[in-house]
Structure formats: structure tokens, C-alpha cells
Amino acid sequence: MGCGGSKDGNPLNEASAEEAAEQAEMKALMDLRMTESGQVAKRGINKVGFMTKQGSFRKNWLVRFFTLEDGKLSYFRTENDEVPLGIYVLSKCVLLPKDQSQPEMNEIAVLGHINKTFRMKCEREDATNDWREAIGSWCADEQ
């Protein structure tokens, strides 16, 4: 048998062995993603970078460093801070549609589980679209 080949040298058997290995790997990944309730856990996109967020009380806009990891959107005063100023668990949130009346805003709005809207924005539309896709990949599908 050659390196990585099948016992009989038949390329069809080789392909079948590769497919079986891929299927076994996918099953193992799915098993890892099972939650306690038996449902498949949602996997999304992780991301880090700066965005501007709207303040909770004064409604002013502040530049913050964001990390999006394993469905948790955290924000910090600076990228060197270790303790976040806030954390949103996105599986309990809904990504709101883009406001078509203000397309120049590049705003991202997330509705939290307590019906509070968290607003962020980026300077560039491509950055907004990247963040929107990443955040949306972790959010609940509907309210």
C-alpha cells in the first residue's frame, strides 16, 4: 500500500475512505456543538477592532475597542484594557435591519433581551458590513 492509498490501490476506495473520514470529522464537530438542551449550538464569526458606540444614558458617541468571541460582544475603553466596560451575549439578542432612511450612518443596531437597543457605527461601509455579518452570525434568528 502506498502513502495514503487504499489496500487494493483502487482510487474509488481511496475517495470513499476520505469521504468517510470527513463525515466522521463533521459528526465529531456537531457533537462538540451540542448544547445541554440537545440543540446544535450556533457557530459564528469572531472579530476584533474599533467602532463607535452610542452611550447608554447621554446618547453621545464614544470610540471603543470591541471583541467578538464565541457569541460575546465585549467593549473596552482601549485595546490594552483587560476588563470590559460591557458584554453582550448575542444569542439573546436580535440584529435589527439597517435603517434605510439614513444609509450614510453605517450604523449597527442590536436589540437586547431586555428590549434595550445597543447602537454602534463604523466610519466605512465595508467595515460596517463586516461587523454586521459577524454580529449577525451569533444573534438569535428572531425575537
Candidate from 34-38, 52-56, 88-92 with smallest mean pLDDT: 34-38
Mean pLDDT calculated for residue range 78-97? 93
In 10 A of CB 64, how many CB atoms?
20
Cell of 78: 482601549
Give the integer Cα–Cα distance in Å for 70 and 138: 8
Are the C-beta atoms of 120 and 54 separated by less than 8 Å?
Answer: yes
Question: Rounded to whole angstroms, what are the CA distances from 38 to 43, 65, 114, 140?
Answer: 15, 35, 26, 17
Are the C-beta atoms of 13 and 20 separated by less than 8 Å?
Answer: no
* pTM, 2 dp: 0.67
